[in-house]
Amino acid sequence: MELFRSHVLVCGGTGCISSSANQILDKFNEEIKKNDLEKEVKALQTGCFGLCEAGPIVIVYPEGTFYSQIKVEDVPKITEEHLLKGRIVKDLLFKESVDEDKIKSVNEVEFYKKQMRIALRNCGVINPEVIEEYIALDGYQALAKALTEMTPEEVIDVIKESGLRGRGGGGFSAGLKWEFTAKAEGDEKYVACNADEGDPGAFMDRSILEGDPHAIIESMALAAYAVGANQGYVYIRAEYPIAVKRLQIALDQAREAGLLGENIFGTGFNFDLEIRLGAGAFVCGEETALINSIEGKRGMPRPRPPFPAQKGVWNKPTLLNNVETYANVPQILLKGAEWFAGIGTEKSKGTKVFALGGKIVNTGLLEVPMGTTLREVIYEVGGGIPNGKAFKAVQTGGPSGGCIPEKYIDTPIDYDNLIELGSMMGSGGMIVMDEDNCMVDIARFFLDFTVEESCGKCTPCREGTQRMFELLDKITEGKGTLEDIDKLESLAKTIKSASLCGLGQTAPNPVLSTLQYFRDEYEAHVTEKRCPAGVCQSLLQYKVIPELCKKCGICAVKCPVDCIDGVKGKELYVIDQDKCVKCGVCVGACPFKAITKS
Amino acid sequence: MKSIADLEKIRKEALDKINLRKENKGTRIVVGMATCGIASGARPVMMALIEEVKKRNLDNVVVTQTGCIGACNMEPMIEVYKEGNEKVTYIKMTPEKAKQVILEHIVNGNEINEFMIQG
């Protein structure tokens, strides 16, 4: 039997791996061997710990010691000091885990304190490539329970009573979706998992698949049992190679163990799963486009109804849920609908995973109960805005969502509150903006994305988003008029109501919400030709401050368009505003900080 | 795997292997593992403790290590922190004595006076 006294968990999320977590793990194994600790200490890779800002992260158990921003060179020291001699290496600890002379364990750090992990419960705890570790923490127990003790109707009732709503954006009741699929007529049915996470900056689904792939397999088998399917598809983008690899390993292990395949748990229930790789089109996150793509067709949506529950993959009734929705299911089955319904708000039950990014101290992945306020997420879990800047807005729901200004920061997060504020839950991206962000520029950024990603099938989305983008571009260049703002608004409303699928229907949200809350910024761009945040290049002016200019001429040498004139040592330098391309090179070049941007 | 009993068997075996990573509120046995401790044989003592804990399936006992406890002439030393009790320090340990500590103190609840620092 293995007799390890200590486990070294190295984060294996995409973020940490891109900053050499794999090499760190190899080095640990090498050092452990060198120090003859192979029988006492085990190093392994887990899923994402969530606090990506502090990556690469290494956690040492049983103490729960939280090492952050570890480099390969730090490994020998940790091995010799901590693993061999039992002395925690203080200067490599996550800064917040050192409180005067007491060292806090990972669970006591502020970032984790307010969190409640259901979908992420195994991420950063188990090795996702070892099925036994998942089983150890009650994995596949829910499937066993459902197959042997419950009827499909009973399973659906539990999901309905739990109040679980779709985590992919729409927020539709998962139980009802399951029921519709179960009741739909069809000789064959399918279950599918939407892992085509496309929002810029969002990585909830990726982290779940990387950190706990068996939870999705178990949950899809459960869903298949409930709706009467024997075949499932996981639609995942090829841009997530680690998630794909770990899911494939998990599938092989589950088949090997008899948890997928024929006659599961001796009950006569058959189920198997296939991975379908997507090419990374945002529109394929839309359910009907995703189904087309699974079938090998071009990823374009079709009108609904019929809904996938009636006509989905190969025109058969199909249950399609998002990764995070599935990740909640086994726990609900094991702990009961009342347990889950007891968490969250009246209409939004359970927890939600968010990918927190932008102007925030703790960039990363977190899971909080529904009803937690935006303020708690941003200031308590997220650690606030860096560099003493002022909070301006938070963008939820990615390119489909909107910007929520400071006056609503105490709003409890749930599906309905966010929609009321002109945004949406979306899949859980959360981007924080500070005083240095220009809201017109933000709207333009998201529109740029949707213009690229529009599939082109319906006119409002194909043409409309392009026109909106052009108007925004015009405004940020200082060429807009007040009529353009009105035109933008009416165009946005038309696109919202006339587009075929969710992509077009929500694409105007970033524009509408910024117009609603930050109209003054739009107006400043148009009437005063000024960008209040100092972001829009065309509206900036670079000037030499005569009192500070030492006539050195460095700026004139560096200027790529030769728009700075003066005589070295004799005459002050002056920028020709007509020729200036606002590149900002001169600001960085001046040794005396004599050039300002305004 | 063909039955729930099979699943349960795997679960129990695997749980032992990852129990370390759960929050542990039970007993903590700390072994002094500075240079002095290691030189006087702390490592076999610790291995004996770990083995004994596993053998007896003591789920709520964690064996861990610390630096120099400060009385190097009494090494190898171990400290037992039982929930709700005062810390007990045992000195000049050997693997055999360590096994006795697990049996007498941890399992049966009787502190072993003769292994402690004598007045």
A5, A135, A148 ranked by CB distance to B10: nearest: A135
Residues in chain A within 8 Å Cβ distance of B47 = 3, 39-40
More confident residue, A556 or B33: A556
Cβ(A389)–Cβ(A499) below 8 Å: no
- Which positions in chain B touch A86 (Cβ < 8 Å)? 31, 33-34, 64-67
- Residue B119 above 80 pLDDT? no
Task: Label residue B24 by pLDDT band (50, 70, 90).
Answer: low
Q: What is the pLDDT of residues A181-210, one digit of tens each?
A: 999 999 999 999 999 998 888 899 999 999
* CA distances, A520 to each of A439, A445, A515, A527, A529 (Å): 10, 19, 8, 10, 12
| Residues of chain B neighbouring A63 (CB-CB closer than 8 A) | 64
Average pLDDT rounded to a whole number, residues A564-585: 90
Q: Where residue B23 falls among pLDDT bands split at 50, 70, 90? A: low
Quote the pLDDT of residue B83. Answer: 76
Question: Does the structure show a pLDDT above 60 at A454?
Answer: yes
**Does residue A150 have a pLDDT over 90?**
yes
Judge: B64–A6 Cβ closer than 8 Å, yes or no: yes
Do the Cβ atoms of A126 and B18 come within 8 Å?
Answer: yes
Is the pLDDT assigned to residue A400 strictly greater than 60?
yes
- Chain B residues with CB under 8 Å of A5 CB are 20, 46, 50, 63-65
Average pLDDT over residues A396-419: 93
Within 13 Å of residue A212, how many CA atoms lie on the same side as its CB? 32
- Please spell the DSSP secondary structure of A376-436, one letter per residue: IIIIIIS---GGGPPEEEEEESGGGSEEEEGGGTT-B--HHHHHHTT---TTSEEEEEETT
- Looking up tokens 């409303």 gives A493
What is the arithmetic mean of pLDDT over A32-47?
91
Structure tokens at A10: 């190295």
d(CA A337, CA B45): 48
User: Could you tell me which of B21, B32, B106 has the C-alpha nearest to residue B65?
Assistant: B32
A68 vs A95 pLDDT, higher one: A68
Query: Could you read off the pLDDT of A282-337 as tens digits, one per residue?
Result: 999 999 999 999 999 999 999 999 999 999 999 999 999 999 999 999 999 999 99
Query: What number of C-beta contacts closer than 8 Å exist between A and B?
Result: 93
Given the cut 0.85, state whether the ipTM is greater than it: no
- For the entire predicted model, the pTM comes to 0.88
Q: Which residue of B has its CA nearest to A6?
A: B20
Q: Verify whether the Cβ–Cβ distance B17 to A266 is below 8 Å.
A: no
Q: How far apart are CA A152 and CA B114, in angstroms?
A: 63
Q: In A46-166, where does DSSP find H-type helix?
A: 75-77, 110-113, 131-136, 141-149, 152-162
Q: Which of B4, B55, B66 to mutate to test the interface with A (most CBs of A within 10 A)?
A: B4
Record: contact B1-A1, CB cut-off 8 A: no
**Hey, of B3, B9, B15, B20, which one would you mutate to test binding to chain A, going by the most A CBs within 10 A of its CB?**
B20
The answer, for A221 touching chain B at a CB cutoff of 8 Å, is no
On average, the pLDDT of chain A sits at 93
Asked if B23 and A64 come within 8 Å (Cβ–Cβ), the reply is yes
Region A552-579 average pLDDT: 91
Q: Is A5 within 8 Å of B7 when comparing Cβ atoms?
A: no
Residue pair A211/A248 in contact by the 8 Å Cβ criterion:
no
Looking at the complex, report in whole angstroms how far the Cα of residue B97 sits from the nearest Cα belonging to chain A.
Answer: 19
Mapped to the 3 state alphabet, what secondary structure does A270-323 carry?
EEEEEEEEECCCHHHHCHHHHHHHHCCCCCCCCCCCCCCCCCCHHHCCEEEEEH
Query: Nearest-CA distance from B103 to chain A in Å?
Result: 18
Of A3, A87, A133, the CB nearest to B14: A133
Mean pLDDT (whole number) for A158-162: 97
Helix (H) or strand (E) holding A543: strand A542-544
**Ramachandran sector of residue B61 (left: φ over 0; alpha: ψ -120 to 50; beta: rest):** beta
Task: Encode pLDDT of A237-289 as tens digits.
Answer: 999 999 999 999 999 999 999 999 999 999 999 999 999 999 989 999 999 99
* Selection from A539, A538, A535, A363 nearest residue A437 by Cα: A535
A297 to chain B, any CB pair closer than 8 A? The answer is no
Interface of chain B toward chain A, CB-CB under 8 angstroms: 1-4, 7, 10-11, 13-18, 20-21, 23-24, 31, 33-35, 38, 46-47, 50-51, 54, 62-67
Yes or no, beta carbons of A3 and B2 under 8 Å apart: no
Which 3 state secondary structure label does DSSP give A14? helix
CA distance A378 to A384: 6
Residue bearing the bigger pLDDT, B1 or A249: A249
pLDDT beyond 60 at A1? no
Which residues is B116 bridged to in the sheet?
B90
Report, as an integer, the average pLDDT of A55-77: 92
Q: CA nearest B43 in A: which residue?
A: A84
CB contact A149 to B (< 8 Å) = no
DSSP per-residue letters across A424-490: --TTSEEEEEETT--HHHHHHHHHHHHHHH--SSSHHHHHHHHHHHHHHHHHHTT---HHHHHHHHH
Query: How far apart, in whole angstroms, are the C-alpha atoms of residue A322 and residue A324?
Result: 6
